[in-house]
Structure 1
């Protein structure tokens, strides 16, 4: 029975962030089809931020109507909604409509919002439910949560990507000479399987999570613990805070309410000066702004000039680096502010290189060379890995300080993500500061 519960807890964790992570790793394929093209990631960053309405509503319900909202009912609803959204995405992801005189991916955006709503809301419902079980099963749940980002990345690598090649084509000139004019156009080789199959795979993973939760919810009550044996507050979801910056705040609010009024357990009283706290919260704002808003909005401009393969690898490997950095942070913790500050500077350096290449699009440095492709992929990999580690460790520091510190951490993270997304959206979509190009027809000096 213990092994079965471990498997169920891991399967339940698969539904945490599988949808949002799956969308990001599939972008290299769908940007070549949808009308927004290279601007598509900037739309997604804003949509995901809007989806934080879900955890906000759950938190408000807990505050205003304590005891009225049942976590298991919400979980059933959001996982079922996630399965339906993935299936709808498989059929309608490429449907477009005319809005304000231009084609837009309205179906993709609407479904993506509901899909993001599922993943964002999971951060304030999954963990409170798992805290009814012994701590060893919560650890297994974290493993499944990490796999929710790792598995889509691996599947995307197996899917491959339409590698571009330049093809000569002829067409008869529009004159009376009948002469043929030769043009060069970009042609993408098909992937090993289509985006529709990939979205059905995401639906299957969400179904596994729903089935695992159903089984866990029907376990005998002997596998639940009393309040005094619940998981300590220092144990918290690590990877759930990666794509939903408000996860730490909201999740802690729910956990505190589950303990009863006036019975919150004392946390470790780590003391920091005002300057240290200011620095810590600055790290929270900056890291979340960079990883959830600024850089994801321009990843296409940063990678696509090197080819679709470079973009595909950078998106997939970054998705893998995310849970990997969380796992490292769980077992190898370094709370030194000097170390975390240095790591932030290093990650910012990688991010600055990525932003610079986006600004130089469609003619970045070392374009057309294997070295350039390798550097941009590694830069995105290390950018994601280093800043994810900082994000997790800062959350651990503030979680051990006090409950209020963690609440402010969530608020600062949400503010950073929102500012980053709203800053980049007009720069990309209104002022057109970043230029797209064609793999074959762009002439670079």
Structure 2
């Protein structure tokens, strides 16, 4: 039964970033159809940054109503919103409206913002919930978080895009993907549905309840009675200069990986065609979870 709890923890983790990771690998097929064209990745990057209002709201809740952060209803609402947004995207991603005299993908952009809000907020809500369980289940959650980038990337590789054949020896013709963008969004909706089902299982499954009760009893036990988890020396406080350097490097790395490079990827790959753009976006999504798995096997502190 503990294996079932590990599996549910992993499924919960897959819903943390599967929607946005899936969007990045599907952009090469959406860009040619959207009126925003090659500007769409820059629009998506901006929407993701605006969606960080979600974690800021959670930080405010942590000060005013900290108990709300541990409520399953908040996490279930996020997973449900993500599943609904993916389902609507499957049928509305091509919809256009005229704004300011120009066609715009208003439904696509609004739903993309909803998904970005779900994924950004999941980082500061899912983890507090998983603290109710013993530490080994948190590892399973992080494995699922890595799969949230790996699975959409593998599906996108199977989907294929940008394959070219020559017509009459000179005219290039792009071959269609093996399945449509609509089916890909339905796959993302199913993944978010599994995340919601995993949360319900973690709440209702008797084995999960026993694991939560075990963790609560250990947390209430005196320090000398708790099981030893290894000898970890207490770290001293960082100096202001070193803390500024650490956070500066962290901010610079995140700015490159989450804002600068994704926003210009469509332009950097444009001279090489849609096949290069599709492979670059897909392999970028695969790199992060693979690096996380390597880090789990070869920790470097």
Q: TM-score w.r.t. structure 2 length?
A: 0.88
Deviations 1:104-152 (A, max 9, x none): 1111100001111111111111111111111111111111111011000
Maintained 8 Å contact 2:163/2:174: yes
* Post-superposition offset of 1:188: 2.2
Maintained 8 Å contact 1:130/1:138: yes
Query: SS of the counterpart of 1:295?
Result: helix
Determine which structure has more spread, i.e. the larger CA radius of gyration: 1
Maintained 8 Å contact 2:134/2:215: no
* Gap change, CA 1:92 and 1:290, over 3 Å in 2: same
Query: SS of the counterpart of 1:67?
Result: helix
Distance 1:97 1:152 in 2: 29
Distance 1:314 1:54 in 2: 29
Maintained 8 Å contact 1:71/1:125: no
2:174 maps to what in 1?
188
Query: SS of the counterpart of 1:94?
Result: coil
* Gap change, CA 1:32 and 1:165, over 3 Å in 2: farther
* Gap change, CA 1:277 and 1:105, over 3 Å in 2: same
* Gap change, CA 1:288 and 1:68, over 3 Å in 2: closer
Maintained 8 Å contact 1:18/1:202: yes
Distance 1:72 1:140 in 2: 19
- 1:222 aligned to which of 185, 210, 220: 210
Distance 1:69 1:291 in 2: 28
Distance 2:135 2:83 in 1: 28
* Gap change, CA 1:63 and 1:303, over 3 Å in 2: same
1:315 matched to 2:281: yes
Where do 5+ consecutive residues of structure 1 fail to align?
169-183, 231-265, 336-445
1:415 maps to what in 2?
none
* Gap change, CA 1:267 and 1:22, over 3 Å in 2: farther
1:278 matched to 2:244: yes
* Gap change, CA 1:40 and 1:186, over 3 Å in 2: farther
Residue pairs, 1:46-445, within 5 angstroms: 46-68=46-68, 70-165=70-165, 187-220=173-206, 221-224=209-212, 225-227=214-216, 229=218, 268-270=234-236, 272-335=238-301
Distance 1:132 1:276 in 2: 33
User: Which structure is higher in RCO with an 8 Å CA cutoff and minimum separation 6?
Assistant: 2
Maintained 8 Å contact 2:163/2:175: yes
* Gap change, CA 1:229 and 1:46, over 3 Å in 2: farther
Query: SS of the counterpart of 1:95?
Result: coil
Deviations 1:53-108 (A, max 9, x none): 22221221221123355530101111111111000000000111111111111111
Deviations 1:376-414 (A, max 9, x none): xxxxxxxxxxxxxxxxxxxxxxxxxxxxxxxxxxxxxxx
* Post-superposition offset of 1:160: 0.2
Where do 5+ consecutive residues of structure 2 fail to align?
220-231
Distance 1:289 1:69 in 2: 27
Maintained 8 Å contact 1:54/1:121: yes
* More off after superposition, 317-326 vs 151-160: 317-326
Distance 2:247 2:58 in 1: 25
* Gap change, CA 1:90 and 1:287, over 3 Å in 2: same
Maintained 8 Å contact 2:165/2:174: yes
Distance 1:280 1:111 in 2: 35
* Post-superposition offset of 1:316: 0.5
Distance 1:19 1:130 in 2: 20
Distance 2:288 2:160 in 1: 20
- The size of the alignment, in residue pairs, is 285
Distance 2:68 2:150 in 1: 35
